Amino acid sequence: MEVKEGLEPASPRAQYFNSSVLSVFIMGVMETEVPITINDARTMSLLKDVFLPINPRFSSIMVKDRKGEKQWKRIEVKLEEHVNIPIFPTDLSPTSYDEYLEEYISKIAMEQFSQNKPLWEIHIVKYPTSNAAGTIIFKLHNALGDGYSLMGALLSCLQRADNPSLPLTFPSRQQSEIKSYRGSVYRRVSEHFSLIFNSLSDFGWSMLKSTLIEDDRSPIRSGDEGVECRPTMVASMIFSLDRIKHIKAKLGVTKNDVITGIIFLGTRLCMQEISYKSSESQSTALVLLNTRMMTGYKSIEEMLKPNSKGPWGNRSTFLHVPMPKFKDHRSSNPLEFVWTASKIIKKKKSSLGFYLTGRLLEIVKKLRGPEAAARFMHRTMRNSSMMISHVIGPEEKVALDNHPIKSLYFLGGGLPQNLLITIVSYMGNLRVSAIIEKGFLDAQKFKSCMENAFEIILKAADEIPI
């Protein structure tokens, strides 16, 4: 983008996510194996020499130019204003510190970013919990970039624990099969007609879901205003990536299909336990899709190249995926949740509905301004029941300044939904985190149902003959 008067134009999505209607962010959480011994001077040095150079936006604030358009403006960063080291009572048990950490994460999730300084902060929790010797939290505004960009930035600050000189590796992602257009004219015409029909159908359905049709109120959706400002709790589950691949091979689907099917089944089981009638409720998940079409994370240098297919910024969109109901299936086969999710997602990915939705947002922005586009996005999220976001993590153990990372996960915030699911892979496992409005849904019940759904689907897949 062209830079004028020292200002860099903010992307449309950056303006949507940092508006009076929406203020969306992610928190990357790293759990360390050893106590955190980084002192203040070392922390400032790492931020100055490693973190800030990743992207100019980490040293910029969002301002309006003479025409009212939002721009990024470089400023002098006061690092001490971005570093937070909470003080908890001393000599408590790890389980007690679990509660303090949970309350602290909920607290910082409700706090808004100051617009007078760059939109990021780091929190260093030096108290041992039942899961880790220490916890490091990066809170990053989504105006800086999408989850792919921001997680890529955090990963670029890490090194392999076994050999820092070697690059990080990530699980391979199968390329989409390239359709063959050989054959009869009739077949080619039929495929093009199907693409057009699916695209218009998806676009029309997305428009209805974003404007007129709301999901039913249910145990996972209150339908209330302002839920993005309420306290939350986090329920985390760890699933074996090898077992996910085993289910994938047995069912002939993708890993994402398996994960989505498990989430759908677990959510329906939880809803049914709370209210049996809710098994028939109309519930929709917004599944985030990254449009970069890449096999894994590129280096930050590659991401910043103008001609790169995966430049820094916001290049994600969402798919409206209706959650299967128990009554939809003539049998009680739990694998139907995976197959149904696979069928729906495959169909939506093969259409241009998400592209048309993006173009519509651009038109709304041009005609009515970024605030109107932000209201459209807010309504889209509010009308659905949950959000599912998935990023790829490294295969080997990583370390931050010689602090081995035992586990890592990310959380989302600022979304007008009672339930958000985030997924990240790391060292052969999938960390699934449910961010749940506190007091609305029992986090432990949800976790139990999700783990039960995984075991049910795994057992059903094992019974399929080879």
Domain ranges in the chain are 7-160, 185-295+306-389+418-462
Neighbours of 386 (CB within 10 A): 27
Q: What is the mean pLDDT of the segment spanning 285-308?
A: 57
Higher-confidence residue: 399 or 150? 399
Q: Which two tokens stand for residue 109?
A: 């999730």
Question: Is the domain defined by 7-160 classed in CATH 3.40.50.1820?
Answer: no
Fold observed for domain 185-295+306-389+418-462:
Chloramphenicol Acetyltransferase (3.30.559)
Lowest mean pLDDT among 139-143, 286-290, 419-423: 286-290
CA 267 to chain centre: 18
Which residues are 419's β-sheet partners?
436
Q: What is the mean pLDDT of the segment spanning 138-166?
A: 86
Helical H runs in 279-395? 300-303, 335-349, 353-368, 370-383
The strand ranges marked E within 165-291 are 232-240, 284-290
Lowest mean pLDDT among 241-245, 318-322, 453-457: 318-322
Q: Is the pLDDT of residue 406 over 50?
A: yes
- On the CB side of 331, CA atoms within 13 Å amount to 6
Q: Which two tokens stand for residue 258?
A: 């398996």
Query: What are the distances in angstroms from CA 453 to CA 127, 416, 449?
Result: 33, 26, 6
Higher-confidence residue: 91 or 172? 91
